[in-house]
Homo-oligomer: A and B are copies of this chain.
């Protein structure tokens, strides 16, 4: 087991929310869409190169996160993808989409329109994860409410 280190570009573009199952849960810092990213603790760059138990765990996390996004954000579609052409650290996008969102029906990857979250909006998402996905989510220490 090596120490987890988050890719610099993911770190720059996202807010680390905490853990979702065993993966790190990031929020892509664009409030135009509920766009989450799971980063499993693995050196593999492809899901099929992970061990079978880690794969199962990751698939369960992808499903639970997709359900959370769909239900809590009342989306029209969830887009789920492992791409990794630019950032090789394995990460899975789980993006809630709306039929009137800024790039519908196109994909979000490659778009540049962006509106960063306010601190209050981020806290609100953390609160929803804490109450609605409590079986899976553990907030990062900086987001803990004492």
Contact = CB atoms under 8 A, between A and B. Distances in A.
Interface string A58-81: 010011101100100000011111
B83 A47 contact: no
Q: Determine the main DSSP class of A at the interface with B.
A: mixed
Contacts of A86: 105
Contact of A107 (B47, B55, B110): B110
Contact of A66 (B46, B77, B78): B46
B85 A63 contact: no
Interface of A: 45-48, 55, 59, 62-64, 66-67, 70, 77-86, 88, 97, 104-107, 109-110
B79 A63 contact: no
Contacts of A85: 77, 79, 97, 104-107
Most chain B CB inside 10 Å of its own CB: which residue of A59, A82, A84, A85: A85
B78 A81 contact: no
A94 to B, nearest CB: 10
Given A59-B55, A63-B48, A106-B110, A79 B70 contact: no
22 contacts: A46-B77, A46-B78, A47-B80, A48-B70, A55-B59, A55-B63, A77-B83, A77-B88, A79-B81, A79-B84, A79-B85, A80-B81, A80-B82, A81-B81, A81-B83, A85-B97, A85-B106, A85-B107, A86-B105, A107-B107, A109-B109, A110-B110
